[in-house]
């Protein structure tokens, strides 16, 4: 996938998709939903979390994933020049003037259509970051829902990465991700639409 028309085609189909998996879903997608539920609720969930999860590499030399508290470390250790913050309120972040802050204004509504509303915005930001040969970290308050869902959708749409593989790769490092079932459903719907294309 690459052109705007291809993105628009996929997103328009996703927007018209039903909000939750139902019995009418293609069996392969239902299986994917079951696999994702297993990964997210059992396979990598640790009994006791010792400290915050590490900053996670999403795309080598381009995109990292973390929580609000990881910003300073990412700037120092991962040499990021861009912070992409996903949240409903304007963040109170003090960062060096050499680092760009991009705010993706989302909603706290649990059924908010985050992929449809914001994936184009994220892709545009990351295309610019990539063209400049710079690095970015995408964060939300806890690094569990908004930033993870947008990162996964980005990998699927920009690199054709498999949904299950992408979530499993992130869950291995972060343990608790995508606790919002509506966001998970949105990813499965995107996956389903991409399978048809």
CA distance 122 to 115: 10
Nearest to 56 by CA among 182, 166, 184: 166
Q: How far apart are the first and last CA of the chain?
A: 10
User: What is the mean pLDDT, run by run of 10 residues, along the chain of 197 residues?
Assistant: 56 50 48 84 59 86 94 93 94 88 94 97 98 97 95 97 94 89 95 90
Question: Which residues contact residue 92 at a Cβ distance below 8 angstroms, ignoring those fewer than 6 apart?
Answer: none
| Phi-psi map region of 160: left, alpha, beta (phi>0 left; psi -120 to 50 alpha) | left
Q: Write the CATH number for 143.
A: 3.90.190.10
Number of domains in the chain: 1
- Global confidence as pTM: 0.82
Per residue in 70-92, pLDDT (tens digit) is 999 999 999 999 999 999 988 88
Question: How many C-alpha atoms does 66 have within 13 Å on its Cβ side?
Answer: 22
Per-residue model confidence (pLDDT) at position 134: 97
The pair of three-digit structure tokens given for residue 49, joined into one six-digit string? 């979390």
Domain that residue 13 falls in: 4-196
Question: How many C-alpha atoms does 30 have within 13 Å on its Cβ side?
Answer: 6
What number of helices (H) and strands (E) belong to the chain? 7, 5
Per-residue model confidence (pLDDT) at position 132: 97
Residues making up the chain, counted from first to last: 197
């Amino acid at each position: 996938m690459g052109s705007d028309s291809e993105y628009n085609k996929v997103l328009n189909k996703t927007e018209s998709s039903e909000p939750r998996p139902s019995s009418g879903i293609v069996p392969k997608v239902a299986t994917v939903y079951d696999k994702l539920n297993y990964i997210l609720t059992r396979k990598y969930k640790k009994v006791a979390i010792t400290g915050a999860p590490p900053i996670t590499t999403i795309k080598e030399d381009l995109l990292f994933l973390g929580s609000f508290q990881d910003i300073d470390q990412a700037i120092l250790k991962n040499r990021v020049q861009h912070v992409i913050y996903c949240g409903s309120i304007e963040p109170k972040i003090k960062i060096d003037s050499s680092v760009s802050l991009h705010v993706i204004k989302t909603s706290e509504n649990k059924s908010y259509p985050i992929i449809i509303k914001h994936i184009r915005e994220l892709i545009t930001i990351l295309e610019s970051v990539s063209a400049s040969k710079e690095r970015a970290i995408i964060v939300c308050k806890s690094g569990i829902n908004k930033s993870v869902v947008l990162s996964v959708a980005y990998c699927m749409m920009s690199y054709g990465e498999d949904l299950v593989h992408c979530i499993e790769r992130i869950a291995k490092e972060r343990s608790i991700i995508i606790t919002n079932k509506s966001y998970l459903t949105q990813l499965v719907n995107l996956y389903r639409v991409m399978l048809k294309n």
